[in-house]
Structure 1
């Protein structure tokens, strides 16, 4: 093997090994997931004692808050598992382990679509919560018409972005055939 080829090979090995620099970031996402669990538990502990006295609208808002946090947690797991397996290393987990069906099958394109779908769902829940708060005492000043209009525009931007990403992936898949 020539000296030039050996340098190139070692350089490429170094580049390939650099993917492990992402591992601490995935560990940070695990910490973020733990933070979401703490916030979720805090919300449950806040709303649970009020169950017998809260209105149906307040109950729906509480549930939407918990669903919102759960979707954010799901989003973190999708990014954590798919990103790690796509960019760092395959997870060596026992075949008998309860491995999610999508693990190992979600490519970068699928990850993008799952990501944008989760963002659209989270945005939609946030928007629904804001609409449900209209007319509640003390909340009118916080959510003016321009504020709500911007929330709708941002949500629609996420929806259109998702549709365009899906269309681009569909076109790319068709062009491969």
Structure 2
């Protein structure tokens, strides 16, 4: 390997630290989103005695939706940092965070797709609980989009299983 190739390789390898900007940005966005969650929680609590069951349930579903999105952001931040920048370790015990080591980019895609389906399900449930606010066309499109999310998640799962099975098979002698 020539000196130029070594320098280029070092530059490319070091460029992974640029990703930290994105992960810190996601952490900042998560903080803002937590503020939005608290505002929504405060509004829900303030309406508690007077709110009917349907209104309260829709508000609660919105909080669940926000929690799922926040978990999604954390999952992406931590696993992406761990996979692409540097290993995350518990500084006191020097043990790697257990679940993080099992979350490779393929597994992350499956978990993201599952979370998106769950979030879409909550949105669809909110629509069904409040059908008077939507046209039939709006509801139809929301259902179609949800089915597309389900199909995408299933396709990712099937592809992941196929590639995982192929990776586990011993190489055939030629």
TM-score using structure 1 length: 0.89
Unmatched 5+ stretches in structure 1 = none
Give the corresponding residue for 2:37: 40
Shift of residue 96 of structure 1? 4.3
Mapped pair 1:72 → 2:69: yes
Match of 2:116 among 100, 119, 122: 119
Shift of residue 134 of structure 1? 1.6
Q: How does 1:80-159 map to 2 (within 5 A)?
A: 80-96=77-93, 101-135=98-132, 139=133, 143-159=134-150
Mapped pair 1:167 → 2:158: yes
Distance 2:35 2:162 in 1: 42
Distance 2:92 2:149 in 1: 37
Give the corresponding residue for 1:6: 3
Judging changes above 3 Å, is the alpha-carbon distance between structure 1 residues 100 and 16 closer, same or farther for their aligned structure 2 residues? closer
Question: Segments of 4+ in structure 1 off by > 6 A?
Answer: none
TM-score using structure 2 length: 0.91
Deviation string, structure 1 residues 78-119 (Cα, Å, up to 9, x no partner): 000001111111123225499764112200100100111111
Report the count of equivalent residues: 168
Distance 2:138 2:53 in 1: 25
Distance 1:97 1:70 in 2: 29
Shift of residue 45 of structure 1? 0.8
Does the CA contact (< 8 Å) of 2:89 and 2:96 recur in 1?
A: no
Unmatched 5+ stretches in structure 2 = 170-174
CA-atom RMSD in angstroms: 1.7
Deviation string, structure 1 residues 102-155 (Cα, Å, up to 9, x no partner): 1122001001001111111111101110110123xxx2xxx1111111111111
